[in-house]
Amino acid sequence: MDEKRLSVFLERSSYRRRRARDASRVLPILCLFLFSIPGLWQVGTGEIVLSEALTFLFAVWCVAILIAAALSRFLSEPVVGDDASSDQQSGG
């Protein structure tokens, strides 16, 4: 943690950056779930037609890309101060 800072609360920007990291860790898990759904569709029932399946997958794909793009702006910023502790978390 940043010992120089007296406040118990983090600065808004660094708080947001940390949440962006959290989100970037959650995003692939969420996507894995959504992308696995086609594997759960029943074989041969034909209830879900191919165009619907395609639309679903591409829609999820697009949303995932948009979120990833939004997150990457926070994540690629040069990090000041509180990098070490959070990096450690991701390292372990």
Residues that bind another protein in the complex, under the rule CB under 8 A = 21, 24-25, 27-29, 31-32, 35-36, 38-44, 46, 49-51, 53-54, 57-58, 61-62, 64-69, 71-73, 75-76, 84, 87-88, 90-92
Cα separation of 92 and 79, whole Å? Answer: 19
Q: Identity (one letter) of the amino acid at 18?
A: R
Query: Least distance to another protein from the beta carbon of 69, Å?
Result: 4
Nearer to another protein, 7 or 45 (CB): 45
From residue 57, alpha-carbon distances to 24, 46, 52 in Å are 20, 17, 9
Which lies closer to another protein via its Cβ, residue 9 or residue 46?
Answer: 46
75's CB contacts (< 8 A; 6+ apart) are 17, 20, 21, 24
Choose between 4 and 92: whose C-beta lies nearer to another protein: 92
